[in-house]
Amino acid sequence: MKVYDGDTNPAGDPDVKSDTQIKVGIAEYEVTANGATLTTSGLGSCLGVAVYDEAACVGGLIHVMLPSAEEMTDANRAKFADTGLAALIETLEREGASRERMVAKMAGGSDMLDFSRNGTSIGSRNVEQVEETLAEFDIPIVGRDIGGEHGRSVRFRAGSGDMEIKSASEDATTI
C-alpha cells in the first residue's frame, strides 16, 4: 500500500492532479490525498470499494477478493472485505479524512460462474460483508453497481467522487 500525498505534484496544479492515475491490484488498496484517479480491473466476484472524504480530498479504493478473514491464516488484510475495509479506513484517517464525512461506493460482486450448488455466491457474500463492515463504521453507501453476470473495471476519481464502471458488453456507467 502506498499513499499518494501530492509529492508527485509539488506545484499543486489542479490539472496535473487529475492526470495522476494509480492502479490498484487484486487484494490491494491505495489511498490518494491529491485527487488522483484510482483504477482496478478484472472484477468478477471481487468487489471494488471506494471510500472518500470529499471535503478533505482524501479517498481510497480497495479490491477485495473474499468476504471474511475469519478462519484464514493469510496475513494480507486487503484480501478480505472485513479486514481490508478496516485497514483502508485507518489509512484514510491517517491522511486527514474524517470518518463522519466518509461515504462509499462499490462495484463488482457478480454472480458469474457460480458453481456453488447450495448457499450464496461469493459475489453476494462479498457484497453482504462490505455492507456489514461499512455499517459498523457508520459509513453510508452512496452508489453501487453490483451483481449480474458480467465482469467490471472501475475508475474512481477521488477528486470528484465519481466512479466510472466499464464491462465487456455494456456501456460505461458512472455512479
Partner 1 sequence: MKVDIQSLGTFNSLAHEGAEQATAALCQMTGIDASVEVTKITLMDRADVGESLRGREFVGVQFGFEGELAGDTVLVFEDGCADSIVEALVPGGAGDEMAQSSVKEIGNIMMSGFIDGWADYLKTTIDHTPPTYIERRGHEVLPTGSEDGADQVFVFKSEIEWVGEELSFYIYMLPAQDSLVDVMTAHANTEDDAIPIDKLTVFNEMTTEGTRAAAEHVSMMTGVETEAEVSRISFAPIEDVSKQIDSRTYVGTVVEFDGTPSGYLMILFDEQSAYNIAEELMPTETDGEEFTAMHESAIEELGNVMTSGFIDGWANVLQTAVDHSPPEVVHDMGRAIMDPLAARVGMNQDHAFIIESTMRTDEIEFESEIHALPDEEELRAALDDLLVERADETEADIEQIFQT
Q: Which three cell numbers stand for residue 10?
A: 509539488
CB-nearer residue toward partner 1: 65 or 163: 65
Q: What is the C-alpha separation between 52 and 98, in angstroms, rounded?
A: 9
- Calculate helix-pair angle for 81-94, 122-136, nearest 10 degrees: 40
CB of 90 to partner 1, least distance (A): 21
Burial 133-154 (b: 16+ CB within 10 A, else e): bbeeeebebebbbbeeeebbbb
CB of 115 to partner 1, least distance (A): 4
CB-nearer residue toward partner 1: 21 or 98: 21
CB 59 within 8 A of CB 67: no
Annotated catalytic residue within 31, 33, 43, 46: 46
CB-nearer residue toward partner 1: 53 or 144: 144
To the query of whether residue 46 is one of the catalytic residues in this protein, the response is yes
CB-nearer residue toward partner 1: 59 or 151: 151
Q: Which residues bind partner 1 (CB under 8 A)?
A: 21-23, 25-27, 41-46, 65-66, 72-74, 76, 79, 110, 112-116, 121-123, 150-153, 167-169
Contacts with 82 (C-beta within 8 Å, 6 or more apart), sequence order: 67, 68, 69, 70, 129, 132, 133
Q: Is the dihedral of CA 88, 91, 95, 99 positive or negative?
A: positive
Q: Give me the residue label for grid cell 499513499.
A: 3
CB of 42 to partner 1, least distance (A): 3
Q: Give me the residue label for grid cell 466510472.
A: 164
CB of 14 to partner 1, least distance (A): 19
Q: Which residues are catalytic?
A: 46
